Chain A
Amino acid sequence: MGVLSRAEAQQRADAIRNFQRELSVLERDGVLVLGDEQHRSLSEHHARLLAEYGRLYDIDGDARAKQLSLGMRVASFFGALALAASVFFLFYQFWGRFPTAVQVALLIAASLASFCGTLWVQKLDASGYFAKLAAMVAFACFVLNIAMLGEIFNITPSDKAFVPWAAFALLLAYACDLRLLLAMGILCLIAFISSRAGTVSGMYWIHFGERPENFFPAALALFLVPQFVPHHRFPDFAPIYRVFALLAFFLPVLVLANWGELSYLDREPSLVKGFYQLVGFAASAGAVWLGVRRGWPHVVNTGVVFFVIFLYTKFYDWWWEIMPKYLFFLVLALVAVLILFVLRRLRGLAKPVAEAA
């Protein structure tokens, strides 16, 4: 199988190192002993692969490198956000002094140059950290570009702007294998689909957040993306789609479970709250079940987190005022222990499924 992306190269390199460790244990225990020729051939093959991956994809060589690379990811994430903010404020500081034609030319040139610059940086930087910085700046430049054209020409605000922003962020994400840009693209898609869902009722699009149900179609669409679009080259992307889909579903449900009057449902707010509390419990439990069944740990974790949040908010409603605080927190602790038992049992059930798969 040819390696296509950095994530796949990293996975393969990790598998090779695990294999080498296990092989040395097996040889020490005398379970499996390779001949000298086989040993040499295998070692050379692995060394060649690791060297090639290191050269092409700048993968992490060992556990220490992995820890450092986590730090680099965090640094590049904050650096990317800060650099994007810097670009915005730089333009903000001076744009009013330029004639309209210069403003427009600067905005378009910044978008084009930062995009081309991102592809150039990506070509030079196999690790992807600097490409992430450049891509975030390119995305910020394009958002600024369209937003400021709207400001300069007094254009009526439109949710359609989210479409090219989403397309651009997704293009950068897939071209440079960047999860941060994928998240930006997904957020733009959520905003667009939700605002379109809201306008069906006739409301002005910018108010889409006032009816949390508007987010449900976006949640469903995002959850289905990895099902219909294969992501073999981008193994980290499918979890991001699913986690954002779950957030786009559970956060509105959580809001509706506490403020029923925000719902489209034309019923007593207390009834609506009760309904969404049930939906919250059932759906988060369903997410845990689905995650265990399909081997999606991110779905399991998100489901557990929201199940606990739904449970604790109900406990707060019921008992915070009437219970002594030591008893209230004791109940929470006991529930946490109960959840641990349930999850342990689910883990036990998951093993046969995984083995069967």
Chain B
Amino acid sequence: MPWGRREVLWAGLALLVATNGIVLAGALYNRAGQPEAVLRLSQRELDLPWRWGFERENSGISLEMRWRIPRFATSDETGYEQGVSWLDKAKLHELGFDVSRSFATVSGKRYYAKQLPREVFMVLEFDAAAYRAAVQRAEAREKRAAERAAANPGVVELKRALDSANRDLESERQRVSRLFAVDAGRDPAVLREKYPDRSHYAIVPGLVRLAIYRRGMDDVPVGYVENLSVASVNVPARYRAAFASAYKETEEARPGVGNFEVTVAFGRRLEPWVVDVQRSGK
């Protein structure tokens, strides 16, 4: 029996109200009670949106989280093609990837190439061991470059290498993100037990991808952190003023380091929100 106008009206209103109710209840649940974690991030970890194309007309501000992954201890490379150091075969298996097949055969490689990203729970570490290790690595590189340059005065390449190492160290100390993806798992409660410090470790959903990397003569499984499921944080209107002068039109126009500090809380559903914004005045 076809519906009349009244039935359609009530069904539509019920659908609209129920859907909004479910979404808002989820958001309220996320923010109820004590946050799961609270991080005080700065512009080093939160990237302002670029204002070009359609974004030029977007009056909202979403800060994109800039996160890094720890390098392999032996790696001096700038890229991450070797994968993430802690995402080894055992960890990939733990995260649900089938790594039982041989990586050496054609069919094995084909099988692994077909694996698509999985959503897991990621541990984001802020301003702690992984960051200190990154600074120490930059310091060691700078020290080695300085020693070589001192031992071979007048060699232009070594002088350039020293300048580059100095810039990297300065960048590591002042500019780049201190937020690192350091671990992942399928159970957030287990991860929280392992990383109890809620002011330095947030657990968030994120995507991990499996790939094959040729290390020496061997093909090995490596994992990549593809992205966080919620990659950016919306800035409520009451904090807009703090970012008004900081829109990026070009790479050169990036505002100075430490322009703002944003306190980001992560709730019961591990979804973030901005709870405070402070201009640092630098």
Contact = CB atoms under 8 A, between A and B. Distances in A.
Partners in one complex: yes
B2 interface: yes
Chain A contact residues, majority secondary structure: helix
A151 B237 contact: no
Interface string A179-199: 000000000000000000010
Interface in A151-196: 151-157, 164, 167-168, 171-172, 174-175
A112 B11 CA distance: 12
B19 interface: yes
Interface in B229-273: 229-230, 232-234, 236-238, 240, 269-273
Given A92-B59, A204-B207, A266 B111 contact: yes
A49 B234 CA distance: 59
Interface stretch (B37-45, B116-124, B136-144, B162-170): B116-124
Interface stretch (B21-29, B79-87, B145-153): B21-29
Contact of B117 (A92, A108, A203): A203
A211 interface: yes
A261 B12 CA distance: 43
Contacts of B233: 154
B118 A204 contact: yes
A96 B30 CA distance: 22
Given A96-B60, A168-B15, A154 B116 contact: no
Contact of B13 (A93, A97, A112, A167): A112
A112 B19 CA distance: 12
A115 B60 contact: no
B255 to A, nearest CB: 19
A98 interface: yes
Interface residues of B, number: 52
A21 interface: no
Contacts of B2: 4, 233
A23 to B, nearest CB: 33
Contacts, number: 134
B194 interface: no
B16 A111 contact: yes
Nearest to A89: B57
Interface in B43-91: 54, 57-62
B240 A116 contact: no
A119 B5 contact: yes
Interface string A200-214: 011110010011000
Contacts of B11: 171
Nearest to B240: A96
Contacts of B118: 202-204
A326 interface: no
Interface string A262-283: 0010101100000000000000
Given A96-B237, A99-B238, A154 B26 contact: no
Nearest to B8: A175
B172 to A, nearest CB: 29
Given A151-B60, A154-B273, A119 B9 contact: yes
A211 B116 CA distance: 9
B205 A156 contact: yes
A92 to B, nearest CB: 5
B229 A156 contact: yes
Interface residues of A, number: 53
A155 B58 CA distance: 19
Contacts of B271: 153-156
A266 B11 CA distance: 46
A111 B19 CA distance: 11
B215 interface: no
A111 B233 CA distance: 25
Interface string B203-221: 0010100000000000000
A325 interface: no
Contacts of A152: 234
A187 B119 CA distance: 25
Contacts of A112: 13, 16-17
B122 to A, nearest CB: 12
B113 interface: yes
A204 B27 CA distance: 22
B273 A204 contact: no
B114 interface: yes
B5 A123 contact: yes
Given A174-B3, A175-B12, 10 more contacts: A99-B236, A111-B20, A153-B27, A155-B30, A156-B229, A171-B11, A198-B116, A203-B118, A204-B118, A268-B110
List of 9 A-B pairs having minimum Cβ-Cβ separation, nearest first:
A96-B59, A96-B60, A203-B116, A153-B27, A175-B8, A164-B19, A204-B119, A156-B229, A207-B116
Interface of A: 4, 89, 92-100, 103-104, 108, 111-112, 115-116, 119, 123, 142, 145-146, 149-157, 164, 167-168, 171-172, 174-175, 198, 201-204, 207, 210-211, 233, 261, 264, 266, 268-269
23 contacts: A92-B59, A96-B58, A100-B237, A103-B237, A111-B16, A116-B9, A153-B273, A154-B234, A155-B23, A155-B27, A155-B230, A155-B271, A164-B15, A164-B18, A168-B15, A171-B12, A172-B12, A175-B8, A198-B116, A211-B116, A264-B114, A266-B110, A266-B111
